[in-house]
């Protein structure tokens, strides 16, 4: 497990970052980050009416909010699921908008000096991730086939559950099953 001291040194090496109001969140990073994760950039900002620490690693974006009454709240987005990231700057503050899947995450009141470096770090990490996936050896294909098989099984299980609940008729079930199995 990584230590808080090593993470603080990593943060110092990033240059100018904004950690306003996130000391407790930073102290929890050793518990949150995996041993093989490196912080590419981080900043703080408001979302859901509270201040969150937003951390970009080479694998994911992690959002942390430590509240006095409710404890730690954590949200994360895998870089491979991020569709886009954009930022805006104003006189003093900026905002970061992240689209992942079909959802939108808006982080406001970030220090305006940190929004561009954060967005750049996310884009660079996504690019590196894609390059690594393309450079992966062809021996990974059997694993992908197994994952694909697991996906088919989970789709069929969900379909069967819909049929059992009466949401799908027998004919609708048969048609969807054929599509999933590639027979339609």
pLDDT level of residue 94 (50, 70, 90 thresholds): very high
**So what's the pLDDT on residue 12?**
95
What percentage of residues in the chain have a pLDDT greater than 90?
Answer: 65
Judged against a pLDDT cut of 70, whether residue 145 lies above it is answered with no
The pLDDT tens digits of the residues spanning 27-62 come to 999 999 999 999 999 999 999 889 999 999 999 999
pLDDT level of residue 106 (50, 70, 90 thresholds): very high
The pLDDT tens digits of the residues spanning 7-25 come to 999 999 999 999 999 999 9
**So what's the pLDDT on residue 170?**
83
Could you give the 3-state DSSP secondary structure of residue 16? coil
pLDDT level of residue 171 (50, 70, 90 thresholds): confident
- CA dist 120 and 42 (Å) reads 11
């Amino acid at each position: 497990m990584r230590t808080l001291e090593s993470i603080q040194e990593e943060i110092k090496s990033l240059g100018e970052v904004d950690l306003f109001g996130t000391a407790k969140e930073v102290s929890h990073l050793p518990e949150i980050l995996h041993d093989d994760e490196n912080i590419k950039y981080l900043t703080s900002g408001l979302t859901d009416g509270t201040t969150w620490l937003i951390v970009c690693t080479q694998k994911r974006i992690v959002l942390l909010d430590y509240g006095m009454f409710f404890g730690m709240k954590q949200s994360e987005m895998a870089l491979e699921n991020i569709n886009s990231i954009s930022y805006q700057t104003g006189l003093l503050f900026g905002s970061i908008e992240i689209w992942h899947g079909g959802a939108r995450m808006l982080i406001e009141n970030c220090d305006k000096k940190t929004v561009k470096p954060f967005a750049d770090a996310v884009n660079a990490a996504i690019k590196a991730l894609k390059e690594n996936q393309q450079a992966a050896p062809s021996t990974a294909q059997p694993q992908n086939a197994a994952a694909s098989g697991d996906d088919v099984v989970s789709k069929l299980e969900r379909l069967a559950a819909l049929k059992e609940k009466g949401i799908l008729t027998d004919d609708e079930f048969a048609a969807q099953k054929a599509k999933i199995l590639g027979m339609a």
